[in-house]
Structure 1
Amino acid sequence: MMEPADLTQETAVLAQKEAQYSEDIRIGGVEGGATHSTLVILDGKGTRLTEVKGPHTNHWLLGMDETAARISAMIEKGKQDLGIPESVPLDCVGLSLSGCEEETTNHRLMETLVQKHPNSARDYVVSSDTLGSLRTGLESGGIVLIAGTGSNALLINPDGETHKCGGWGYIMGDEGGAYWIAHRACKYVFDDIDGLTEAPEPISYVWPAMRNYFNMSDRNSILPYFYANFDKSFIANFTKELATGCERDDPLCLKIFEEAACLLAKHIIALSKKAHNDLKLAHGGLKVICVGSVFESWKFMKNGFANEIHNRRVVDELSLLRLTTTSALGACYLAAEKINCPFIKPYDSNVEIFFHYNRDNFPETRTTELKNHTLVSDNVHVHGEST
């Protein structure tokens, strides 16, 4: 039998070897949205080594080969930054990408990378951008709500069961996302000028803003942007002009952002019905990680969001959180789990609460019916909000 002193020494030696081995591991994670992507590389202890920015990586828009080439180029840039030889692949890379919601196409992307770029990584984990965002900030489950160019929501219960809402693209879905907001504004203008349907508020700001942004003299001039030379990201960026309109108290811009907020709240309401009680009864209620540029205009959305949640009477308490770091870290965490590389993940420091709703503390509100029959509150109470 080994003496205690010998056992202690052997344990120390094994720990030292394990630590050395962990430091030699290189794990990558890619956050891929509809406009840009980010790669982060960690060592086996979870220490961030480098970060690389790149173009968007949605295979539905690019095709598998180009998507794989862009991912590989980012990985090779990261390896160069760290002095890793081109012939030495990373141990595993997690890919949390926009458009990666189907197992079949996810497997095709992984096969394309392995076959055409064998030196980039030994193994991959491919998942949606929603999963990467959720795993960056929540360990035991919750909801992630994405409202960037498009929109998407995903629930993960503590037992690993998943449910999604939205994420069907700009034709079949993406309600509340930047493209939807921009398109909504343009449609209001077109229908109002045609006399087909009167806009809910005057188009006096939005119509000139459209002409300026799209460099158009009349409505026909905008059609190539939506058809012949369609560019979803360029159209979605018009939302920034609408946010400026909100800053100037333009009623139509404010109305559109309120509508977007109500639709995003409906994503949460739909998924909350399938959430386990463990998530609903946790401190702070149901946790929702919110990702995307649309949430930068939260101050114009919170009343519409809070009223929709309150009036539907499905959610008793919830907390909205924003990531304080890139969701590429969540992709790294998934890759680390794939190769059984455990390290402490700082979930709490990866997020911060910016909105808290509690039905018991929500006062009775007086509602006013607008001419388009949407109810808005005259006195919305929100608390626990940080700037």
Structure 2
Amino acid sequence: MKLFAGIEGGASFSKVMLLDETGRIIHELDQEPSTNIWLIGKKEWARRIDSMISKAFDQAKLPRQTLECLGLCLSGCEVEEQNEELSQFIRSKYPELCLYCKVASDTLGSIMTGSPNGGIVLIAGTGSNSLLFNSDGSCVRCGGWGHLIGDYGSAYWISQRMIRYLIEAEENYNPTSLDTTEGWREVYEHFGITNSMGLLKPLYEEFDKTYLAKLCQRLARLAFEKNDPLSLKVFAEAGEVLADHVVSLLKQTDEDNVPVICVGSVFKSWSLLQESFLKRIGTSTKRIDFRFLTRSSSIGAAFYAAKCAGYDLNINFSKNYIELCCYHNGQLI
């Protein structure tokens, strides 16, 4: 039996999917370590991938065999030349791992999971990124520059944005009429501090992007459960900057119907984002279908690698997402 595997890799964790040649899912892993090569280095990156595949075989109670194809759609893998080098590196380091390996961006794995014939993928998890995949195979990216100069609309960005509002209001640098009490309470509890100066340690000395991004969960609850005005404002702003990715990419496609595959935990708060998001999209004449992925993009990673190697895995893509909304000419339809 020929076996295929895909790995979805982010800055926080990775997911693995093991499939047979009919496209049937044999086993999946949900909470594996990060496979972002810029955070862990090439040797550890390769070791973790081989270890994850071994774990998938073990848990599926299958003897380890060489994969027909392995698709690695990972954060940080944005340059084709470097991706090819990584593919060659891991196959030389672990020659029994697979016959064919394809390394690509995490955005490509997502589009292949929700709309393999093309569209836009918009990722907003710990970080953010987007990619337009045209039906002719051409790709255009927007974002993906990390927390120092990018990650707009991500969980990290939302958390940092709230902290900035709170500090600037406290120091009267950027006064606000919105109540900051609840926001400060969540920040204090999340970081285990009692005053704003306590932020210096987690923001600098012990900086952890993933941990900072987790503050976003608290802020989402604050917006949903207490209708906190400042939290609602931050999520509305996140909707705007996330929409800017889509606006940029829509200008670079001739397609009339454009699926937008939304990926990441931030989109679980779609109701907080939708109004400002769609307002920013404006009156585009293109029909835009917003879809939230409910299955791991490791499926798309496996499918893409198999496709590049000449295989056509039989996957029902409509089962991988739910519809958020459809937008056309400035109207929900």
Same fold (TM over 0.5): yes
Q: Structure 1 residue 172: deviation in Å?
A: 1.0
Q: Please say if residues 309 and 315 of structure 1, whose CA atoms lie closer than 8 Å, have aligned partners that are also in contact.
A: no
Is the Cα–Cα contact under 8 Å of residues 28 and 39 in structure 1 kept in the other structure? yes
> Which of 195, 199, 214 pairs up with 1:218?
195
Partners of 1:76 and 1:39 lie apart in 2 by 11
Kindly provide the CA deviation profile for residues 39-97 of structure 1, in whole angstroms up to 9, marking residues without a partner as x.
111111111111123111111111111111111110011222344444x3212100011
TM-score, structure 2 normalization: 0.95
3-state SS in 1 of match to 2:67? coil
The structure 2 residue matched to 1:249, chosen from 215, 227, 230, is 227
- Residues 286 and 319, structure 1, Cα contact 8 Å, conserved in 2: yes
Where 1:190 maps in the other structure, the secondary structure is helix
Taking a change above 3 Å as real, the CA distance of residues 183 and 70 of structure 1, as seen in their structure-2 partners, is: same
* Paired position in structure 1 for 2:185: 208
- Post-superposition CA distance 1:5-41 (Å, at most 9, x none): xxxxxxxxxxxxxxxxxxx111110011221111111
Residue 322 (structure 1) aligned with residue 292 (structure 2): yes
| Corresponding residue SS for 2:108 | helix
- Tell me whether 1:263 sits opposite 2:235 in the alignment: no
SS at match of 1:134: helix
Q: How does 1:168-187 map to 2 (within 5 A)?
A: 168-187=145-164
Counterpart among 32, 37, 42 of residue 59 in structure 1: 37
Distance 1:51 1:331 in 2: 13
Distance (Å, rounded) in 2 between the aligned partners of 1:249 and 1:136? 34
Name the counterpart of 1:78.
56
Pick 1 or 2: higher relative contact order, CA cutoff 8 A, min separation 6. 2
Q: CA deviation at 1:308?
A: 1.2
> Is the contact made by 2:84 and 2:102 (CA closer than 8 Å) also made in structure 1?
no
In 1, Cα distance between equivalents of 2:97 and 2:36:
19
Measured against aligned partners, the alpha-carbon deviations of 1:170-209 in whole angstroms (never above 9, x if no partner) come to 1111100000000000011111111211146221211121
CA deviation string 1:127-153 (max 9, x = no partner): 011000001121321000000011111
Q: In the alignment, what sits opposite 2:324? A: 354
Work out the percentage of aligned pairs sharing the same amino acid. 37
Kindly tell me the number of residue pairs found equivalent between the two proteins: 331
Distance 1:343 1:37 in 2: 22
- Higher CA-based Rg: 1
Give, as a single letter, the amino acid of the residue that structure 2 aligns with 1:317: R
Do structure 1's residue 345 and structure 2's residue 322 form an aligned pair? no
Partner Cα distance (1:186, 1:199) in 2: 13
Q: Is the 8 A contact 1:289 1:323 kept in 2?
A: yes
Which whole-Å CA distance do the structure 1 matches of 2:268 and 2:109 have between them? 20
Is 1:307 the counterpart of 2:279? The answer is yes
Q: What residue identity is the alignment partner of 1:356?
A: C
Supply the distance in 1 between the matched residues of 2:74 and 2:129 (Cα, whole angstroms): 12
1:275-333 Cα distance to aligned partner (Å, 9 max, x none): 12xx32xxxx32100000000111111111121112xx445431101123211110111
Asked if residue 230 in structure 1 is aligned to residue 202 in structure 2, the reply is: no
CA contact (8 A) 2:19 2:26 kept: yes
Q: Distance in 2 between matches of 1:174 and 1:202?
A: 26
Asked if 2 retains the 8 angstrom alpha-carbon contact of 1:189 and 1:199, the reply is no
SS in 2 for 1:216: coil
Q: TM-score, normalised by structure 1?
A: 0.82
